[in-house]
Amino acid sequence: MTSPAQRHMMRVSAAMTAQREAAPLRHATVYEQMLVKLAADQRTLKAIYSKELKAAKKRELLPFWLPWVNGVLEQGKGAQDDILMTVMLWRLDTGDIAGALEIARYALKYGLTMPGKHRRTPPYMFTEEVALAAMRAHAAGESVDTRLLTDTLELTATADMPDEVRAKLHKITGLFLRD
């Protein structure tokens, strides 16, 4: 047999549990809510097979995330932020090397890691993705500010990564400087 106090505690606990289950994000932090939005955006992107269409969708989604990125870069204290690191990759996928470089400086300064399934270190991934973005631009006949490429080389100069990755960035930098 339960006491009146125990019955009251059970009733209050049940009511609180029901409220949490009815509105699971009600008590979530802003960061947790943003992670839910990011996961939804990633599901949307996963349904798109074409790399060009995926890049176009990322261009469409990026403006939503810019206030978050700006807030982290201005006020951030170096805490791990999967949203920031994902936006860095999206910027590279859309050809925004300058925007990605801004995030990379912050990420490398504070030692952030890549989110989830990514195995490469941030300097390795950033260097390779900058090289690939520059190669796509070069193949399309578009220009790239070579200062962004040389800044990337300087930023990642002491980072450990496969020599081929660094060579890829040196090669595309040389091609742009030649042209």
Question: Could you read off the pLDDT of 99-134 as tens digits, one per residue?
Answer: 999 999 999 999 999 998 888 999 999 999 999 999
- Predicted TM-score (pTM) of the model is 0.82
Indicate whether 143 belongs to any domain. Answer: yes
Flag whether 103 is in a domain: yes
Give the Cα separation of 104 and 69 in Å (integer): 12
Do 90 and 57 contact (CB within 8 A), yes or no?
no
At 4, the pLDDT band (50, 70, 90 cuts) reads confident
Helix (H) or strand (E) holding 97: helix 97-110
What's the total number of domains in the chain?
1
Q: What is the mean pLDDT of the chain?
A: 91
Residue that is written with structure tokens 């990379």 in the block: 104
Residue 56 has a pLDDT of 97
Residue 114 lies in a domain: yes
Give residue-wise pLDDT tens across range 139-152.
999 999 999 999 99
pLDDT at 7 over 90: no
pLDDT of residue 67 exceeding 90: yes
The one-letter code for the residue type at 166 is R
Of how many residues is the chain composed?
179
Residue 53 resides in a domain: yes
Q: At what angle do helices 97-110 and 122-139 cross, to 10 degrees?
A: 170
Domain membership of residue 136 (yes or no) is yes
pLDDT of residue 6: 75
Q: How confident is the model at residue 55 (pLDDT cuts 50, 70, 90)?
A: very high
C-alpha distances out from residue 128 to 4, 60, 124, Å: 65, 24, 6
The pLDDT of residue 158 is above 90:
yes
Residue 2: inside a domain? no
